Structure 1
Amino acid sequence: MYVTTAQLAERPAARELAQVATREQDAIVDDTLMDATLRGLDRSAWTPEDIAIADDALARIVEAIGEADGIIDGYLAKRYPVPLTRVYPVVTNWSRAITRYLLHKDRHSMEQNDPIVRDYRDAQKLLQLAATGQFSLGADDPVLTDPQDNDVQFVSDGNPFRRKSFRDCL
């Protein structure tokens, strides 16, 4: 996973995730319970029914993370071996933006000024640039730091100018 549930608990935060990931027929998961669920903390203070609803919401979030990672891998596979063995901060941000967008897919808003849609579109644009080599994952980007890619080699067919070839011209 390029973004963890604990990172999502930080941003966009448990409240937003509880609101978009809880099934419509269930009561929205309590913010504190959702935060504890996302971070893997003790949840013994809540009822088993509440925990079951929180676990269902968590499953929806994890599914969205998987979809986001698949989208990221789809772009980056053109240039990198995927899944990436190292999680770069920029990739975490892309995964967060895409996951958030996927969880909000039923949201009705004006796309041109919606920060969730804007972040999703920005992630797509940067992924496309990374796939074509116009954007780097960072200073330790494996494509940029691979010594085989930086090696300069000269190949020759031999010496095209020999004395014999000059004599033939005379």
Structure 2
Amino acid sequence: MYVTPAHLADGSDSLKELSELYGVDAPLLAAVIAGGDTGAWPADDVAAASEALASIQRFIVQADGEVDARLAQRGYPLPQDAAQFPILTVWARAIARYHLHRQRDKTSEETGRIERDYRDALRALDQVAAGKLSLGVNDPLAPAPADPDDPGTGSTRLISNERMFSRKTLGAL
């Protein structure tokens, strides 16, 4: 997995968003996501929070699938290691948040930002799939740097004649 429920709930604003989406108490949702003690809440509330977590996990699976589909176009072995390429977590989080908020009827500045992040993530993944963008350091499919001695690599090389006027050619002037 490139993103986890904990990634989506990271920060008070993110946790608040999720709890509002599902109508669940934020501290309860945080406890369910963390696998913590839920004994202080009524069983019905805990069941609702568990259902919310299951829904969040379905959206995460969908987001991971979208990331993998684009990486597969380029020929990456799947799944990639999110610890090695943390940008995958950023992109998968943006995609999962978009799908989570798609069910929301309200349009606000926040949903506009979520849509922008989603489009940016897809655009970046499409560039990775086309070989125009690297996943970062140690990317196994990153294009090799241009070789200055190979004229076919797209590098520019300047060649000129030797200097005409130098201290040797002008003598002791």
**Structures share a fold, TM > 0.5?**
yes
User: How far off is 1:140 after superposition?
Assistant: 1.7
Which of 78, 82, 86 is matched with 1:82 structurally?
78
Q: Structure 1 6/106 Cα, relative in aligned 2: closer, same or farther at 3 Å? A: closer
Q: CA deviation at 1:41?
A: 1.8
Query: Gapped runs of 5+ residues in structure 1?
Result: 23-27, 151-170
Q: Aligned equivalents of 1:93 and 1:84: distance in 2?
A: 14
- Alpha-carbon displacement from aligned partner over 1:21-45 (angstroms, at most 9, x marks no partner): x2xxxxx110100111122222121
- Structure 2: runs of 5+ lacking an equivalent: 146-173
User: Is this contact kept in 2: 1:97–1:116, CA < 8 A?
Assistant: yes
Structure-2 residue corresponding to 1:155: none
Structure 2 Cα separation of the partners of residues 32 and 98 of structure 1: 24
- Are residues 42 and 104 of structure 1, via their aligned partners in 2, closer, same or farther at CA, if it must alter by over 3 Å? same
Residue 13 of structure 1 corresponds to 14
- Give the drift of 1:86: 4.4
Measured in 1, the distance between the counterparts of 2:57 and 2:34 equals 13
Cross-structure match for 1:102: 99
Q: Which has the higher helix share?
A: 1
Task: Output the CA distance in 2 between the equivalents of 1:98 and 1:144.
Answer: 23
Match of 2:54 in 1: 59
- The number of residues matched between the two structures is 141
Q: Is the 8 A contact 1:14 1:38 kept in 2?
A: no
The TM-score normalised by the length of structure 1 is 0.75
**Equivalent in the alignment of 1:2:** 2
Q: What TM-score do the two structures reach when normalised by structure 2? A: 0.74
Match of 2:141 among 120, 140, 143: 143
Give me the CA root mean square deviation: 2.3
Structure 1 moving runs of 4+ over 3 Å: none
Deviations 1:87-131 (A, max 9, x none): 4211001111000000111334279x8100000000000000011
Q: Distance in 2 between matches of 1:63 and 1:119?
A: 20
